Structure 1
């Protein structure tokens, strides 16, 4: 998958279109990502040891990976991703700026 945990992404489709956030979790099996502060859902929870009172809890829902686009760290614009081998390691390359995204 082109997105990793900690990447800054922009939502390009759906009710959260145009908003940006950081990826918290990546589900490779279902091709979905969870973005901090976006796609908030309300979940009803019973009282338990971890949540003594129970009630309605608001959490982030997942978004399909095709509906998000990585933000280029240099220009701040959404970009597609390419791959190159640099010094024997495969790194992600931003198509907008041509710079490596992965930290060295």
Structure 2
């Protein structure tokens, strides 16, 4: 039995099979010699869901997915949020005077 072909990402993420039910996700924008190229390890468990071990940012908050397409979409969204928010100034925290004691 051979490993199913992973979906082709529409972004820079490369999904590389490393076992029958395991994949590596790499950042295709980085060179092969760059250690930060490796983004995550994905493993399909016996229930059919995909467990993810995130190794670097961008890192979605979830670590379990129903499909590789869903995982890659979440990774794209996390990457887009990271790049757009880093250029912006941080949000101002409102400061209020202390409340008087009763």
* TM-score, structure 2 normalization: 0.26
Name the one with the larger helix percent: 2
Indicate the structure (1 or 2) with the bigger Cα radius of gyration. 2
Q: Considering Cα pairs closer than 8 Å and 6+ residues apart, tell me whether 1 or 2 has the greater RCO.
A: 1
Name the one with the larger strand percent: 1
